[in-house]
Structures are given as structure tokens and as C-alpha cells.
Structure 1
Amino acid sequence: MNIKEEILKYLRTSNQVRSFLNIAKGLGIKPNKNKDLTKALQESQKEFLIFKNEKDEYFAPIFKEEIEGKLSLSNNGRFAFVDYNIDELANTKDSVFIIKNNFNGAIHNDLVKVKIFIDKTKEKEQMLFGVVSQVVQRATNTLIGFVKKNGLFVDFEPIDKKYKFNKYKIIALQEKASLNDLVTVKIEEIKNNLILVSIQKVITNQADTKLFIKAYLEGVDVPKVFGSELNEEIAKIPEDIFNENISNRTDFTDELIVTIDGDDTKDFDDAVNVIKKENGNFVLSVHIADVSYYVTEGTKINDEALKRGTSIYLADQVIPMLPEALSNGICSLNPNQKRFVLSAIMEIDQNGNTLKTEIKQGIIDSKYRLTYKQVNNFFENNLLDPTWFRNNENLKIEKFNLDKLAKMLNDAKELSLILHKFKIKQGYIDFEINEPKILFNEDGSVKDITFYPRGFSEVLIEDFMVRANEEVAKFLNKNNFPAMYRVHEKPDEDRLLSFKNVLNTLGIKANIPTGNITPLLYSNVIETIKEQRNDEFIKLLFLRTMQKAVYSGDNIGHFGLASDCYCHFTSPIRRYPDLVIHRILRELVLNKELNKKEDLTNLVYSVSKANSASEQGAVEVERKVNDLLFSEYYKNKIGTKLTGQIVSVVKFGFFVEFENKTNALVHKSVLMDSDLEPNDAMTQLKGAKSTYTIGQNIDVIVAAVDLADGKVDCVPEVFYQDFLKQKINRRAVNDSHLRKN
């Protein structure tokens, strides 16, 4: 028996991981023969007989089979799956898990052969894992991406995120390229995880933000258009309701119903009406586009909506969840057009208690398309300007004069104040975060960045929608119907303790309770903090203590909204969870088809996690595109002095926020202090020469902008001249290295 066979037998017999020393001792190999053992171990690994884990321990799994399929990388690039035994008719398949170290030169979407092994060293259960044994066919020989700076060197960064986890080296240039050029490269060779590429073509050397946004959206697989397979269903979408059955719907068309949205909104999925009764109670009617009537299970449109999960609202465009014929057409509650709705009709007393809730399917005819600005103007000046409505095509303002509209808006304001006070008493955390607003020139370039503080009309609509969402969730919960709840866990104790330590270092006094914390207790703490400091960085610190709200079939309440029971009902045009809630209401409440309860319950549990992920993905996309547009704005500000506030400290520097609510990085490398390190509370960057603390105002110069990555770097004004000297030296090194490549 040779040494490789002895190693294999030893590891198989033990069924445990063994270190080099364990193996040497177990086989009785003397130290002077360690080189022979090392060689045998390496050869055994190459032959896929044994493997080594992240702790440099060896194990010998049992070979099961070899399969063939496409390598599909995870979003973080650390592992992949290969599907096999695929039965499309039965909708079944097997998958094998492969860690990055076992890709063996394969990249995303390559057709590969995979050896599947059984690892018996796991204590709880035997685990299958795969190892790429051969690349049968490359998925692509060319990639598109950017020429990027990596320290002192220049390399390639593909736009497709699934290819970003490899290391690239530019070994040849068929066409001269510069930093941030968008280029096509040819894969010349792959050595383990290093991909050698040659630049074939420069697609553009212009600093074009639109192109960078397009490349980013393509790289993260954001579907901008609907596939042709939906065309047949889209063609059947009606433009009006005149040929539909309306016998089972409540007619709300004679009521003064309005929409209140942003200036540039095109899809109107909610409309409201408020009536104050003689006894002082209010009737709040929240009418929501009846999307579930048009988008049913089993259709291609529904499948695509589920896949997208949500509309993505970018600063200059909307990537809708539903085709335009639905989102801007028959489902949009446009003024003076009859539309189908699902409505929550709530009677609310003067203390904010809901006395009665009815769920109805109905027909509305929105009388006014109001904007937040218009309604805010009315609340401030108590005057409705008739010219607002004369330019609104097809509006019949003679049916409802402006005096009636003014009264309805004033009643709505009174009710909103009551509802808001009610929520505050419950512990609703009223912490407004101001978001930057990007303004564009006619050619689509960024003109300016500002921010609009929320006016009362925005708060009013939020109050009404929150109450409707709560009442629908309570209704479903009370009747033991399934629901896709919007849940938000309370802050965990570790985060609360960290928050307390941060506040202490800043000299902010607050008695933060731990243990069984309630929304009311926490909101009282926040109010105490706001009385001492109400800066933006305080809001960021507060947000770090909170968990993310997600969707779930199990109700645990919504901590941030101080709600025992909450769901999303009010935006089915742009959120799939709302569409699920509508579907449940339609089938179980309105149609009373209780035999569908189990299927709807399964639907809720099967899509909740995916919809939470879709939402988070959309948020990431919206933020990234904003960053790209912010960088376009600041490219014209290079060399400009700005005053910012330090809002967060990181290991490599700190971020400053400007008056327009955008931020930039100040890297510690430009601070002329080699000993700078953050404190434990991450509130200060401290060095031998200086200390930088969150909340501190600082004058900075816009120093560099990365248009391709959406990053803005600043330098403190006092160090700017030193930075310029360093920049000149680095540029010379980079240009020299690119010429050598």
C-alpha cells in the first residue's frame, strides 16, 4: 500500500478532519519524511481524493457521482449551485452546493462537470458538496466593464456583479484606454481565480452618467422592459370598465374623492374621502386600485410581478412592477375616469379610535388630482387656486365646487391631527428623515440637488394609509384569515447598549431601557434625545438600533409604527405584498370562497421572504442610482469649498453630510495623521494630532469624483494643497503602469 492509499484509508476510517500533524502521527511518518507526506497530500487533492478545509484540516469524502450543469453564482460570490436532474414537466430538480475554492477556474454560467461527494465528517448530518472537475464550455469569452483604479494599479471591473468576484489583470490593449472608460475585454486565460484579459474596444471615454446607470442596472439584472411573452395578455387589458360586470360593486362615483400625490406621479393607486358626521365622528374612505381584479394567479403578468416584487423609483425614471397598461392605465385612479377599487371604509371617533371598518369592492370617479404642494399651500393660506384645475384635462370641476373641496380638506386635516396624536400616544416614533431631491435639466443632466421637508399633506396621507393598513390587517387577523403581515421586531439589547454608549461619548443623557422595551418607552427616549440634539447624525444613530421591517405570514406586530397588527394594503400597483392582501380579501371576504384559504395561506408563506428581498434590492438600486447622479452633480464642484457635518465614523475615515442631505467620504489617508483610528463607539476618529467627532462641522473641498462608482471624496480645507501634490504623484504612477500593461 503506497502512502496515498494509506492517507485515504486513515481519513476514511476516522470519518473526521485531521491536521497534517495528526496524519503524520497516525501513519507513523517520521519528520524526515514530511516532504513525502506533503507531496502525497497535494497529489491526492489534485486527484479529488481528499480535501482541505479553511482550517487546513484534511478529510476524505465519499465520491457519489459526476454531473453536468451550469454554474450559478450567489450574490456574494462565495458559493454557487449547479442544478441537475432537471424535470421541467414535473418542476423538480436537484442542486449541488460548491464553495468558491472548488470552482477551479469556472466562472458564472459556465457549463461544468461537477464531482459530488458525501462529507461524513459533519456531526449532525451527512452533507453533499460539489467540486468543479472540468469546464465544458465557457459562458462567455468577452465581458463589458470599466477600467478602474485599485490602489496604485489599474485593473478591470465587469458591470455584471456575478463576474466581479474574480480578480482581473489587463495583459494587453488593442485600443488605448483610460481610467473609468467603459470597455469590452476578451478573456485570454483563467488561472484559478485570476482572469487575464485584453482590452478589445473602448465603448466610451465620456463621463456619461446615463451610461453608467444603464451599465449598473444591467449588471444587477434590473428588468427594464417586459418580455414579449406578456404581449398577448397585455393586449387584452381593457382601457375602461364599461364592458365589465359592476352589479356586485358599491358605487362611490358621486362622492368627493381625490388623489393627493407628488407633482411627477403617474400611477395613482390610492384616493381618499373624509366626511365629518354631525356627532363629531369621521368617516375615512381609503380607495385602492383593484389590481387583483386584473392580475390573477396563473397569468404571465402575475408571475412577472412576483419576480419583480416591487416597482423601483429612480430619480429620473420608474421601473414598474406592472406593465404600463395597468400601472398608468386601467388600474391608475386618474381624475374623471371610472375605476374599480377595493375600499376600506372606517368610522373614527374624535379620540382616534376606529369604531367600524367595512371592506368593499367599488367604483370611483376621482374628482381632483391634487398634489402635495397644492394641498400644503391650501393648509398654509386657506385658499384654493382655481387655476390649479383649469389645466387638468377632462376635469369636471363644476360638479364639485372648490368650497366643498376646501371643507373636505379641512375635515381631513382635523382627522389627520387626531390620528397622528393617537399614534404618538401608542409610541409611534415620529422621526422624519429628509431625503435629497434631484432636479434635472431638459437634457436629463443633473441641475441641482435640494430637499423638500415633508409638509402637512404628506403626513396626512401617511396617517390615512397607516390606519387603513392597520384596519385591514386587524380584520384579517380577527377572522383567522391568512395575511402577509408587515412586521418589525423591537431593537435587540446589544444594539440598545451600543446606542447608549454612543450617546454617552457625545454627552447626551438618555435612560435607555433594556429587556421588555415597548414602542412607547422607546419613543419617549427618542423625544428626550431630540430635545438635546436633533441633528441628522442622531437620526442615523437611532436607525442603526432598529431592525429591518420585513414581510411574514406570522404576526409579531410593527415596533416602529407601534402597531400590534399591520400589513401593506394601499399600494398594489407598486408592491406585490399589497396585491396578495387584495387577493385574500377578494377570495375570502368578498367572494367568500373559504375553500381557497389553505392555498392562500401557502402563498403567503411561500412569497414573504422573496418579497422582503425584492424590497431590499430595490432600495439598494435606488440608493446606488442616486449616488451615481450625486457624483455627476459634484463633478462640477471639484475644488469647491463646502461645509459639512460629520455624520458617521468608519475604520477608513468619516462621512460628512451637506445641507442638501448628500454626503461624501473623507478618507483618513488625506488627514495627515498616520495614527488615526476610530474609538470603540465609532463616534470619533482619533489620532496623535487630531480628533474628528460625529456632529462636528467641518469645511471641506470636493477633491475627487468617481462617476462610474458614484463616489465623492472630500479633503478638509486645511489639507487640500497637500492632497493636490499627492494626487499629481499618484497619477504619474498610474499612467506609467497602464502603459506597461
Structure 2
Amino acid sequence: MNQQTLEEKKQILFDFINSDQYEPLKFKEIAMVLQVPKNEKDELRMVLESLIFEGKITVDNKGKYSIIESNIKVGTFSGTQRGFGFVIIEGEPEDIFIPANETKGAMHGDTVQIKISKEQTGKRVEGEVLTILERNNARIVGTFQKSNNFGFVIPDNQKFSKDIFIPKEHTKGAVTGHKVVVDITNYGNAEKNPEGRIKEILGHINDPGVDIMSIIMANNLPLEFPEGVLHQIENIPEEVDTKDLAGRMDIRNLQTVTIDGEDAKDLDDAITISKKDDIYTLGVHIADVTNYVKEGSPLDVEALKRGTSVYLVDRVIPMLPHKLSNGICSLNAGVDRLALSCFMDIDAKGNVVGHKLSETVINVDQRMSYTSVKKILEDRDEAEIKEYEAFVPMFELMLELANILREKRRKRGSIDFDFPESKISLDKNGKPIEIKPYERNKATKIIEDFMLIANETVAEDFFWQELPFVYRTHETPDPEKIEKLGIFINNFGYTIKIGQDEIHPKELQKLLAKIEDTPEEPLISRLTLRSMKQAKYTTNCEGHFGLSAKYYCHFTSPIRRYPDLQIHRIIKENLKGGLGEKRVKHYEKILNDVARQCSITERRADESEREVEKLKKVEYMQQFIGETFEGVISGITSWGMYVELPNTVEGMVRVADLQDDYYIYDEAGYMMIGEHTKKTYKLGQKVTVEVIGADKLQRTIDFDFVDVIESTEN
């Protein structure tokens, strides 16, 4: 077997196990039949494990290998607090339910091989774990509880259903209430808890900053940059070197602005704009990060490892060191900066009739905030208009073009989810002092529109050049999920058309327009979003369903996203005529791994950001226990009803806490009905609730109904 490639070896083994003469054999028996030398047995085992991981063969509890049956699948285990779990199988529309007694000790995030039961419980397909193929978590963060001769750690992540046993000699002096990092030494099984040793004590649960640090550690977010990176940035200048200007287009004479949030420090996009006759010339100028981050350098390796900057409520964990992200790469006003620019000629209908990509040197005239531009364009604030008088015509022209671009996207079916994000303000000790919706305005939408058109233009250009590239892909939703959405919205009198097993984004866009300003809008919007697939990075141009775009990539944020940095490198090489056959093959070899890594790190960042936000919302509501608020029923399950307050905080009214009746969950109608009183709670209903609990450990907020503002009786 030694002369073949790994793929050839896997094929030989698969063909052997798949042959008609084959009877299930143990490892030693396979090695004997195939006459595998002693020094190649480890490799044989590795090849067998690869085939198991790919879901092609299986091994039973007697250690015998056989071809996998159609009802045996490989997926990722998602645990729950109550012991049962679900297995997510790539490409399958439905998760597989795993009862608590069938998990075989699988922990959240593990890769498992499961057997799907033929029977279904209700509407849910059930299965059992056969084998744990790969453990996902060797390290857990949680709260330490001390006993006389040992301790145990309650994991922060509620999806880990079991506490971790810590022998006394491995407690490292931790006391009850300490937040700790635990290395798992034994994963246990269905009957026995996992065992571990304390690696690090983060501090007491009530110490400032420990809560967020626990989430950072639990998600393996890298804080410190390696020595090689720190050494490399010592040689990076504070200002642009004149030798770097050679061969660049000099556009320092063009009126140029950046528009960002007030507290933004990594400014990676600037705008120029002009109009002649009916043609707008829009310049989107993006920080030329690749000039300082060379391929294969320590900086580049670390940037790919991080994949993205992570924006938590009290800090940013940057993809690049601050010397670059806030310094030489940031398009700060009044200083020369290197950029990669996309100039687009756009007609009155929003069509890009010509474009050009160039390496440039720019000098931003004015650093603007979204708030200031909103005051000028929306509020017509006289003081603001006077202060930025020289730029007002530019902002008005930007608004004019942005409206055209947005209308064009609307006509083709682009879906615009306008959920208010949460803006959480903390005091110096990390305590939340205010939570409110962070609303989009005309200024934020202008920049969004300009970045979208630049991303589309660059993606289409490189698609037709047939060069290796990283695209941003949002696939068409699974028909089953859309069918469920259709059944659900029928309860509210809405319909969506599905043609040839696929839905056009325009149908969902029309649905969102119909529900605008209705009580059910938040719920249907969320369910529509959940019916879609998660966007990801790919090397194939597969389009962006949500934007209804055939071509899409991420070009505009190389300071904080690695895919943007990666495609900048390709664009620049191509501009200089250096993308020959050798370099094309190089990129074809590495880009699939780059896309996969960036998709993984993006999900990690999103999850971390959501966890911190949820934690701070719980902490914020602790001060309001006993107080009442108006809210809207935003979700209903068999165990309770979610209520969302105007400040974006969401809590639950548990069915078990309702004392006035026994309530039955009507799954088809998404409502809760009192058995005797026939009192009905529906989605979108306005209610008054009392805050009765806020648990930081469980990350839950509990409400109780005080009054129903919009009451309904059956």
C-alpha cells in the first residue's frame, strides 16, 4: 500500500469492505487478509478512521468493520441542558433527535456516527449515537463548586449537560464561585461524568470582566499575538513610505470622506463621488492591507488563524495588531494612505456601465460619523450643515445614488431584514448601564449600499476572468423549511409562491413588505430568516440568495476579515500581470482551506458576540426584578412564551409559572390556550410583564404576565 496516495488507499480499502465476499472483520483480521506489514499497520488504522469519518464504513461494538447502511450518518452533536441532543448533518434539512439514553456520552460539538431509527416520534426523526468519532472540546470554562475531598465544575455552556468532576489534587486551590478553565482528562460515558484538571483560574464570578473573559476562553478566541507577529510589526512604519507610492494612481486631490460609527478606530473604507450628465462615478477605496501583510508571513498566518475581528461589548479582539488596524492601514483623515480602489460608472437605473480596479494613494479630507451625516440628510440640522458645509453637496449626491442602487436591488428581489441591533453601554467596571436598539439610518444605509455594489462588481469581474477567488455564498433555502414557513404564515393569512421546488427571494421580500408594521412582523421576520441557510465563503461563485445577486464577494473590509485580504492579494497580482499559471495553481490549492477556515471563524465570532450580548442583558435586568414593562410576545414553545421589550431584551414567561389556568400549546396555531378559561396568548400580542428573575449563570430572564394589553378570547 505504501506507493499509493491516501485517496487511492481509501478506495482500495472501501472496495475490499464493499465486496460481495467480505464478512465483517476486526482490524487484525483485515491487516492479515490484506497482508499489511507491521510497520504499515498504523497507516491502515488511519485510513480506516478516515473512511468512518467520511461516513462510508462503520465499526460495531465488537470492533468489526462493515459498509455503512443508508440509515447510518455522520454529523455534529448539539447537546442540551436536559441531556438529550440533536445531530446536525450537512446537507440534511432536519436535525436528528437523540434521546438522553442514546447519546453514548457525546458532548456538545463532538463529531458522531449515528443510526437513524425507522420510527418517528411525532414529526421528529430519532436516532442513536453509535460512535464518537472526534471530540470537539478538550477544554471547558465553568464555575467551580468545592466539596470536601473533590470539586466539580458547572460548564458555562448550557449545552454541556454534565458537570465535570475535579479530583482534589487537580483543583489548583480553586474555591466555590471561581470561574475556571478545565482540561478534560476523561470524557466519561453515558453513566459516568467527565473528569478534568483545572488549567487556569480566571477570577471570582463577581469580579469585573471575568464574565466576558470566560466567554473568550470558552470560545478559544486568541487574545495575545505570537512573538513572531510582534517582531514583524516592529519593522512596519507609522506613516506611508514614499517608495510605496510608485506605480499607484494618485487621487489625493479628490474630495474623500469616511463615514463610520463614532467609536470606530479601524476605518477600512473611504468614498469619492461625482456626476457628469446621467452617469455617477463612485469610488470605493479600501485599505491596502496586503502591502503590509505579506503571504506566508507570521502576520498572515495569524490573521488566517483568527479569520475575523471579534466585536464584544467591552472590547475588540482584532484580526490584525492595532499598529496596523488602527494605524497605518486605517484610512485616518489628513494622512496619506495606500488603498485598493474600485471606481464604478453607474447610470440612472443603477447599472454599473463601467468599472476599474486600481492601486491608489488617498488622503481623507473628513472623518464623518453616521450621526453627523444623519443630522445633515435626515434632520436638516442647521448647525451640522454649517459645520460641514463643504461636504453637504457630496452627501446629497451620495444619498441620490444610494436610493437608486437600493431601488434596483428591491426590484430584483433583494431581502432587507431590518432587525434593530442592541447597543449596550457599560460603566468602567463592565456593568451594563443602558440597552437600546441601534437603529439604521440614511447614513448607515448609504455606506451599506456602496459596499454592496463594490462587492458585486468585483465578484462579477473575477468570475468572468475565470481566476481562483473567494466568494460569499448564500444558498437557496431547503424546500422543506420554506414549506414549513408557508404553512405557518397561512395562520396569519399570508402566502408565498414556490416554483419548481425553489423559492425566489422576491417572494420573501414581498412577504416582509406585507407584514411591515403588523403585530406579527417580528416573529415572521425571524422565522423567515431562520428558514434560510447560513452564508459562507466558497471558491465557487454560487450567488447570494438574500441579496438576489448572481455574483458576490467580500472586498471591503480587509482590516477585519481575512477573505477580503485574501482576494486583495489576488486582485493586486492580477493588476500587475503576475497571476501566471504557477500562481493560479497555488491559489487553487489553498483557497478551499481558506474559505473553510474563514467560515468557521466567522461562526465562532458571531456566537461569541451573541453570548456576551445575552450575558449583559441578563445582568442589566437584575436591577429591575419586581418592576413591570410593556412588551410583545415574540415566540411560543410548549414550555413557555418569549416576550421582547422595546429595548431588545427578551425573557420568558414559563408555562409552569402561570397560575390562573392549565395552558395547552397549540403548535399549529403558535398559541397558548387556557384549558378552562379559553384565554389565549398569541404571537405579536402586546402584554405587560413583571421581571421575576435574571440568572447570569443560566443566562435566563424570567417574566410573569401582569396584564394583556391586547386580549383575545376564543
Which 10-residue stretch deviates more, 285-294 or 661-670?
A: 661-670
> Displacement of 1:324 after TM fit?
0.8
Of 646, 665, 671, 1:684 maps to 671
Partners in 1 of 2:442 and 2:216 — Cα distance?
35
Correspondence list, 1:509-520, <5 A: 509-514=494-499, 515-520=501-506
Of 469, 476, 482, 1:490 maps to 476
Which 10-residue stretch deviates more, 332-341 or 579-588?
A: 579-588
> Displacement of 1:519 after TM fit?
2.3
Which string of whole-angstrom CA distances, capped at 9 and with x for unpartnered residues, describes residues 551-576 of structure 1?
A: 11111211111111010000001111
1:74/1:166 CA distance change after superposition, 3 Å: farther
Which 10-residue stretch deviates more, 516-525 or 568-577?
A: 516-525
Mapped pair 1:424 → 2:422: no
If the length of structure 1 is used for normalisation, what is the TM-score?
0.72
Partners in 1 of 2:411 and 2:157 — Cα distance?
48
Of 614, 633, 644, 2:631 maps to 644
Unaligned 5+ runs, structure 1? 1-12, 18-54, 64-72, 80-98, 110-127, 133-138, 390-401, 720-741
Which string of whole-angstrom CA distances, capped at 9 and with x for unpartnered residues, describes residues 341-400 of structure 1?
A: 0000001111111110100000000010000000000012445747997xxxxxxxxxxx
Other-structure match for 1:611 = 598
Partners in 2 of 1:102 and 1:659 — Cα distance?
41
Other-structure match for 1:545 = 531
Which 10-residue stretch deviates more, 167-176 or 688-697?
A: 167-176
> Displacement of 1:642 after TM fit?
1.5
Of 575, 580, 583, 2:561 maps to 575
Mapped pair 1:535 → 2:532: no
Partners in 1 of 2:618 and 2:587 — Cα distance?
45
Other-structure match for 2:64 = 61
Correspondence list, 1:30-179, <5 A: 59-61=62-64, 101=104, 145-147=142-144, 156-158=153-155, 164=160, 166-168=162-164
> Displacement of 1:694 after TM fit?
1.5
1:468/1:174 CA distance change after superposition, 3 Å: closer
Other-structure match for 1:502 = 488
Which string of whole-angstrom CA distances, capped at 9 and with x for unpartnered residues, describes residues 429-487 of structure 1?
A: 23311111112234432111111321100010000000000000011012112221111
Partners in 2 of 1:548 and 1:510 — Cα distance?
24
Mapped pair 1:182 → 2:179: yes
Amino acid corresponding to residue 600 of structure 2 in structure 1: A
Residue aligned with 1:467, SS = helix
Residue aligned with 1:343, SS = strand
Verify the 8 A CA contact 2:209 2:429 in the aligned structure 1: no
1:216/1:355 CA distance change after superposition, 3 Å: same
Which string of whole-angstrom CA distances, capped at 9 and with x for unpartnered residues, describes residues 151-193 of structure 1?
A: xxx963146999x565446898999976x65369999999753
> Displacement of 1:655 after TM fit?
1.5
Which string of whole-angstrom CA distances, capped at 9 and with x for unpartnered residues, describes residues 124-169 of structure 1?
A: xxxx98999xxxxxx99xx8631589xxxx963146999x565446
Mapped pair 1:472 → 2:477: no
Verify the 8 A CA contact 1:446 1:632 in the aligned structure 2: yes
Unaligned 5+ runs, structure 2? 1-20, 26-57, 67-74, 80-84, 87-101, 111-129, 709-714
If the length of structure 2 is used for normalisation, what is the TM-score?
0.75
Partners in 1 of 2:698 and 2:621 — Cα distance?
13
1:200/1:348 CA distance change after superposition, 3 Å: closer
Partners in 1 of 2:133 and 2:395 — Cα distance?
66
Structure number, greater radius of gyration: 1
Mapped pair 1:561 → 2:547: yes
Other-structure match for 1:656 = 643
Partners in 2 of 1:353 and 1:230 — Cα distance?
43
Amino acid corresponding to residue 309 of structure 1 in structure 2: G
Other-structure match for 1:29 = none
> Displacement of 1:547 after TM fit?
1.5
Partners in 1 of 2:108 and 2:502 — Cα distance?
49
Verify the 8 A CA contact 1:75 1:161 in the aligned structure 2: no
Which string of whole-angstrom CA distances, capped at 9 and with x for unpartnered residues, describes residues 521-563 of structure 1?
A: 3322332333755632222122122211111111121111111
Amino acid corresponding to residue 313 of structure 1 in structure 2: Y
Other-structure match for 2:274 = 275
Amino acid corresponding to residue 224 of structure 2 in structure 1: V
Of 434, 440, 448, 2:426 maps to 440
> Displacement of 1:297 after TM fit?
1.3
Which 10-residue stretch deviates more, 454-463 or 403-412?
A: 403-412
Of 269, 286, 289, 2:287 maps to 289
Verify the 8 A CA contact 2:77 2:108 in the aligned structure 1: no
Partners in 2 of 1:676 and 1:260 — Cα distance?
51
Other-structure match for 2:692 = 703
Residue aligned with 2:245, SS = coil
> Displacement of 1:715 after TM fit?
2.2
Which string of whole-angstrom CA distances, capped at 9 and with x for unpartnered residues, describes residues 98-134 of structure 1?
A: x98599xx9999xxxxxxxxxxxxxxxxxx98999xx
> Displacement of 1:585 after TM fit?
0.3
Mapped pair 1:229 → 2:214: no
1:623/1:131 CA distance change after superposition, 3 Å: closer
1:670/1:353 CA distance change after superposition, 3 Å: same
Verify the 8 A CA contact 2:636 2:670 in the aligned structure 1: yes
Partners in 2 of 1:250 and 1:541 — Cα distance?
48
1:533/1:445 CA distance change after superposition, 3 Å: closer
Other-structure match for 1:374 = 372
Verify the 8 A CA contact 1:209 1:632 in the aligned structure 2: no
Of 668, 672, 688, 2:655 maps to 668
Partners in 1 of 2:520 and 2:631 — Cα distance?
16
Of 399, 408, 412, 1:413 maps to 399
Partners in 1 of 2:536 and 2:600 — Cα distance?
9
Which string of whole-angstrom CA distances, capped at 9 and with x for unpartnered residues, describes residues 699-724 of structure 1?
A: 222122222343222222379xxxxx
Partners in 2 of 1:366 and 1:146 — Cα distance?
49
Partners in 1 of 2:340 and 2:615 — Cα distance?
39
Mapped pair 1:327 → 2:314: no
> Displacement of 1:608 after TM fit?
1.1
Mapped pair 1:632 → 2:632: no
> Displacement of 1:581 after TM fit?
1.3
Amino acid corresponding to residue 712 of structure 1 in structure 2: I
Verify the 8 A CA contact 1:557 1:563 in the aligned structure 2: yes
Q: How many residues align?
A: 595
Residue aligned with 1:344, SS = strand
Verify the 8 A CA contact 2:343 2:356 in the aligned structure 1: yes
Verify the 8 A CA contact 1:496 1:512 in the aligned structure 2: no
Of 694, 701, 704, 1:712 maps to 701
> Displacement of 1:275 after TM fit?
0.5
Verify the 8 A CA contact 1:346 1:356 in the aligned structure 2: yes
Other-structure match for 2:48 = none
